[in-house]
Amino acid sequence: EVQLLESGGGLVQPGGSLRLSCAASGFTFSSYAMTWVRQAPGKGLEWVSAISGSGGSTYYADSVKGRFTTSRDNSKNTLFLQMNSLRAEDTAVYYCAKYQGGSYPADTFDIWGQGTRVSVSS
């Protein structure tokens, strides 16, 4: 069964850092680009970042560029999101998702994790 499991969320003060992880199973992880999408409380979905299957190419939303870094360890089937200089407006549930595989960086997200909650507050 194809599965994604996020972890690493929590409460952090403004200006702090947090590292999210997404463990993948049930598919050839290195063959697929991956993405992070977030959802602020009571709000819609916002695309955050994308990374190619090899990890050699990344894209970011302007709202996180320069503060967030997406990486992956294909030997451990794990995706990461390093979040620095966190702001109150970064408070959200963060989902990792798998690209369907048609193209990169623009594509469909066919498998989603259950999400991990990040709260930025003093």
Partner 1 sequence: DIQMTQSPSSLSASVGDRVTITCRASQSINNYLNWYQQKPGKAPKLLIYGASSLQSGVPSRFSGSGSETDFTLTISSLQPEDFATYYCQQSYSTPLTFGGGTKVEI
Say how many residues touch partner 1, by CB under 8 A.
Answer: 24
Phi and psi torsions of 88, nearest 5°: -55, -35
Binding string to partner 1 for residues 16 to 35, with x set by CB under 8 A, is what?
-------------------x
Q: Tell me, what amino acid is at 63?
A: S
Binding string to partner 1 for residues 79 to 108, with x set by CB under 8 A, is what?
----------------x----x-xx-xxxx
Helical (H) or strand (E) element with 58: strand 58-60
Q: Mention every residue, 6+ apart, whose C-beta is less than 8 A from residue 19.
A: 8, 80, 81, 82, 83
Candidate list 5, 9, 46, 55; residue touching partner 1; CB under 8 A: 46
Q: How far is the CB of 65 from partner 1 (least distance, A)?
A: 10
